[in-house]
Structure 1
Amino acid sequence: MTNIHVDIAQFRGSHYDFGYKQGLMLQGSAVLHNRQGNWRIRQPRFKIDEQEAKNAFMRFAPGIWDELVGLGDALKMPMEDVLRDFGHYRVNAKPGGCSILTGGDFMVRNYDYHPLTYDGRYSLFQPSDQGYAIIGPASRITGRMDGMNEKGLAMGYNFMQRRKPGDGFIPYMIGRMILETCATVDDAMQLLKEVPHRGSFSYVVLDQHEQTYVIEASPRSVEVRPSNICTNHFELLQHENRHHLDDSKRRMAIIEQEANTGIKAQDAFRLMNDKDKGVFSDLYKSWAGTIHTAAYFPKDLKAWFALGGNQEPVEFEFADWLKGESVAAEPIHGVIDTDLGIANMD
């Protein structure tokens, strides 16, 4: 068993200043040490063209480019290394798990992945220059694996497969772009049809109008289906699926059985987070163990968050934070059943 914690980060201001502050925070940190140590062990099998990457950011989310510049300035790091560690463009994403269920007024998701990739930061960012304010856990500092924005658009993504990668962004950054630039599910669908995809993932979106869709995306195609459940296989792009889908379909069957009863948010959270329900996963060595369970409420602009299983969620009043109130800054603690390392811990 390993104790795990998440720090709360709150910032209001420009993207550049946000990046600079994050860079100062990273100096000498376990997260930066572990991230850079990974490249000493595994040489990158990709090459990032700085101008190409900048052009892509300037088209879809220019503020995030300014954030990367701020990060580099604070860390005194060349842009080539900033893009490798924090840009999420042309790098490769590892396989993972994840399960998502939405209702008319909530989204609940399990984030299933390897602990050593986990930043341990829950971020609230209200930009003063451009883009929407966002709440949610950070992924590789600049990315978001799930979250909600000030317009009440909630998003989470699930891994599908990693064969035949394209030249584009990986989901940590695409998820951030959705939250930063989209107000509705229609906006998200349009963005996902235009942005270049590095890998194959499904993106689940829910907005204040109770519209929810699963957007299946690969480097070759993007398809949309109305659905409130997603695990780790495509329904439309079936030719893109992995060969071994038993666990994904098993989790989907459990969620479908409960969702058909008109499940409420609290029960949906327990379905995902309770270790005896069959959805929570301890497969950390297989890159598919549940690290956190998150819930978002687009109409009320509230968020829930819990680390590990059998936990009561910490609640965030995002609507109040948007009005200038601060949230409690104490770290969130939990326990996961593994002896593997965690990125924000030595």
Structure 2
Amino acid sequence: MRDSLEWPMEKVMMEFGGYRIDYKRSGCSIMTGDGYFIRNYDYMPKTYEGRYSLFQPTDQGYSMIGPTQRITGRMDGMNEKGLVMGYNFMHRKRPGDGFICCMIGRLILESCANVTEAVQMLREIPHRHSFSYTVFDKSNVTYIVEASPRGVEVRESDVCTNHFEIMKKENRNHLVDSMKRMDAIRSNRENIEGAYDAFRLMNDTDRGVFSKLYSNWAGTIHTSGYLPKENKAWFALGGDQEPVEFDFSRWLNGEDLEEEKVVGEVDTDIPFAHMEDGAYWSGKK
């Protein structure tokens, strides 16, 4: 990356090393159920790199599937053992020395085989900022790990938005939107019969979970779905979309994917980093 970008190594490490980098406000919603994990990734388009990756390490670690963040990191994904991970932003007050969210996501997927191992890693790893990490596997158990530089707490739940339930003193002052999305998921739970119903609840723009607050760093860019028992992944860009399905098992067995691109429509005029020259990570435009 240093040679291709012609950047100093210090800047490459700052942007892509996954350690001690500030993050701005964001959203995100996650729900799990019988055999599925559905996640809305809410953030700013000009930081989105538009890259979906199936990666198999050549030295050690598990293969994984999911969208990338800062090239080396993962904001959500599933590994070959059926472990699924997604994170939700809480706040960036009083940061500490530690790894940032997307690098922690990568480390979990590459190193952990199940939710027990993932929780243990999240207890031990140093955290730069405050995030919730939702982990799910073939056992249908979902743990939400509330993590900050000052502590880690673990609870079981099938929904997570952008506030802590245990470490409430860590929460932001304004939680109205986070609570609204959580209530929308919970109030519709009785109508959810399977993974596709859950996907529609999260991706349909009129159901109260999908967000269009792109200028506030909190608009839904993609909806991911993971079915660990079937070893399949779903993905859609923008709202009111049908998911593109990836058969991870077939890829692990050596078959190439037919899809080369995922096409969608995001309802915003804000430029995407991988598509337009006018998009800057620094926020200067």
TM-score over 0.5 (shorter chain): yes
Is 1:208 matched with 2:138?
Answer: yes
1:172 to 99, 102, 111: 102
2:67 to 120, 137, 149: 137
1:185 to 115, 122, 126: 115
The one-letter amino acid of 2:177's match is D
Is 1:83 matched with 2:13?
Answer: yes
- Deviation per CA, 1:278-309: give whole Å up to 9, x if none: 11000000000000000001111100000000
| TM-score, structure 1 as length reference | 0.78
Quote the residue 1:306 is aligned against.
236
Aligned-residue identity in percent: 62
Q: 1:210 Cα deviation (Å)? A: 1.2
Question: Which of 1 and 2 has greater Rg?
Answer: 1
What is the alpha-carbon distance in structure 2 between the residues aligned to residue 257 and residue 77 of structure 1? 49
Q: 1:80 Cα deviation (Å)? A: 1.5
Q: Secondary structure at 2:27's aligned position in 1?
A: coil
Question: What's the Cα RMSD here?
Answer: 1.2
The one-letter amino acid of 1:202's match is S
Quote the residue 1:331 is aligned against.
261
Is 1:319 matched with 2:252?
Answer: no
Q: Gapped runs of 5+ residues in structure 2? A: 277-285
For the 8 Å contact 2:34–2:194, the answer to whether it is kept is no
Q: Secondary structure at 2:188's aligned position in 1?
A: helix
Quote the residue 2:34 is aligned against.
104
- Deviation per CA, 1:75-124: give whole Å up to 9, x if none: 55443222112112011111100000001201000000000000000000
- Deviation per CA, 1:109-165: give whole Å up to 9, x if none: 000000000000000001120110010001111110000000000010000111100
Q: 1:262 Cα deviation (Å)? A: 5.1
> How many residues are matched?
276
The one-letter amino acid of 2:173's match is H
2:44 to 97, 105, 114: 114
What is the alpha-carbon distance in structure 1 between the residues aligned to residue 258 and residue 269 of structure 2? 29
What is the alpha-carbon distance in structure 2 between the residues aligned to residue 265 and residue 175 of structure 1? 23
What is the alpha-carbon distance in structure 1 between the residues aligned to residue 144 and residue 200 of structure 2? 22
Q: Gapped runs of 5+ residues in structure 1? A: 1-70
Q: Secondary structure at 1:340's aligned position in 2?
A: coil
Q: Secondary structure at 2:71's aligned position in 1?
A: coil
What is the alpha-carbon distance in structure 1 between the residues aligned to residue 64 and residue 119 of structure 2? 19
Q: 1:342 Cα deviation (Å)? A: 0.5
Q: Secondary structure at 1:336's aligned position in 2?
A: coil
What is the alpha-carbon distance in structure 1 between the residues aligned to residue 33 and residue 107 of structure 2? 23
Q: Secondary structure at 1:333's aligned position in 2?
A: coil
- Deviation per CA, 1:33-77: give whole Å up to 9, x if none: xxxxxxxxxxxxxxxxxxxxxxxxxxxxxxxxxxxxxx3355554
| TM-score, structure 2 as length reference | 0.94
